[in-house]
Amino acid sequence: LIGFGQCGLTFICVNTIGSYSCQCPPGYLLNANGTLCVDIDECLQNLNNCTQPSQRCINLPGSFQCECNSPAFISTVNGCVDNDECLSYQVCLISDPSSAFSSVSNLSLLVMPLISFTTKLQFNCPEYSTCLNTLGSYKCACDQGFRPEIRGDIIVRCVDINECEEQPDACPRSAKCKNRIGSYECECMPPSIQHGLRDCVVNTSCPNECSEHAYCLKSERPDGAVYNCTCDVGYAGDGAIACLRMCIIHANRCFDQLVLISSKIFLCFHSIS
């Protein structure tokens, strides 16, 4: 019994035949002058089994317990596991419960509280970057086409790389380079034609030579590829015999012969002013 006989309140009184003894309970140690039982700090004295990197020791009166190193690790039925900071989670938001009731014609009506969800992020990575989970932590990496701006050892932002300025040979000589956020495109100039996003090709498979202001265009069909002469942008015609510049009435004037194409579009056979 604790606190009975000649033992103090921090001792355990142990009855013996014809006498008794005072002992400290488990997890306690007699102080230097033998008058008090003091708690043993198992964490400070390394008298614990919290040996995993994912754990930390918490001292308790007369004992200790192992807890997961939060937020780097989370507790599960299988022990402490790495917390994937790159994952987002949803938090349920409920409106003020006091506003969940309303009175109409002296009748109390139960109104369902407003429930909404908001997405919470466990990581803090800048725009145009990706969160990469690591054991007990995470790191940020800029997406392809972006360059990191670093302060200390932290990426504060990801800056777009202008491939057109930094890579003179990013596009073929027959194409114009256009920078895009995180990427770039190659705009092929006639007579070259687009092949994918960044390749330009010159087709020579048309049966006859194309006319001026036209190029050979490949069209995929179920029965195979077909090559046709196609007029450049701003020109109209069959592509094989002639491609004539188009002009919009009231926007440009043709001094020479006009051919009506539609109610507003004409073909100018010669010069335009």
d(CA 68, CA 80): 6
Q: What is the pLDDT of residue 181?
A: 93
Q: What is the pLDDT of residue 169?
A: 85
Q: What is the pTM of this model?
A: 0.43
Instruction: Note down the domain range covering 127.
Output: 88-98+111-156
Query: Is 131 contained in some domain?
Result: yes
Helix (H) or strand (E) holding 92: strand 88-94
Query: Is 137 contained in some domain?
Result: yes
Q: What is the pLDDT of residue 223?
A: 74
Query: Is 130 contained in some domain?
Result: yes
Give the rounded percent of residues in the chain with a pLDDT score beyond 90. Answer: 16
Query: Is 56 contained in some domain?
Result: no
Helix (H) or strand (E) holding 109: strand 107-110
Q: What stretches in the chain show pLDDT beneath 70?
A: 1-6, 88-122, 194-197, 201-204, 219-222, 247-273
Question: What is the gyration radius of the CA atoms in the chain, in angstroms?
Answer: 40
Query: Is 245 contained in some domain?
Result: no
The residue whose two tokens read 């020579």 is 204
CA angle in degrees (0–180, nearest 5) for 87-88-94: 155
Q: What is the pLDDT of residue 222?
A: 66
Q: How many CB atoms lie within 10 A of CB 181?
A: 9
Query: Is 123 contained in some domain?
Result: yes
Query: Is 140 contained in some domain?
Result: yes
Q: How many domains in the chain?
A: 1
Query: Is 234 contained in some domain?
Result: no
